[in-house]
Amino acid sequence: MAQGGRGYFRFMCTVVMGIGIISGLGGMALAQSAREITLVNIEFEGTKVWVPGPVVVYKGDSVTIKAINNVKSDPAVHGIAIEAYGIQALVNAGKPETIEFKADRAGIFPITCHLHPPHVGTELVVLDR
């Protein structure tokens, strides 16, 4: 191998090792993440829905949801519930509500308005690492 070839080989080994180390650190950073999500309740053609959705997090994440009720029609209060996590909160128009929990089990869980069941909700998707 020519002298210039060895330098290139060392450089590429250093790059590959660096990528491996960075990738490994990235995996460590995922071990415990804090996820902040804003959900807004809107009305579209008569249907009330929490957007955007679905909410995707990883098992073990600390999750903070800021829920905003932006529906202009009656009633002035809507609910947000994740029954599998024992979460129920009231969200008044013009007053955001903060919900915090640990995503301690994987799966797909409905996010609904527990006050008005016919309303369309969204989903919480908790992925295994």
Mean per-residue pLDDT, 102-109: 97
Q: Would you kindly state where each structural domain of the chain is located, as residue ranges?
A: 1-31, 34-127
Residue 59 phi/psi, 5-degree rounding, is -55, 130
Alpha helix positions (H), the chain: 3-31
Mean per-residue pLDDT, 7-25: 38
Which of the 8 DSSP states describes residue 84?
Answer: G
Tokens encoding 98: 């903060």
Q: Does the pLDDT value for residue 129 go beyond 70?
A: yes
Question: Which pLDDT belongs to residue 31?
Answer: 58
What is the distance between the alpha carbons of residues 2 and 126, in angstroms, rounded to a whole number? 52
What's the pLDDT tens digit per position in 57-77?
Answer: 999 999 999 999 998 777 778
Considering the segment(s) 34-127 as one domain, its CATH architecture is: Sandwich (2.60)
What's the pLDDT tens digit per position in 110-124?
Answer: 998 888 877 778 999
pTM of the full structure = 0.71
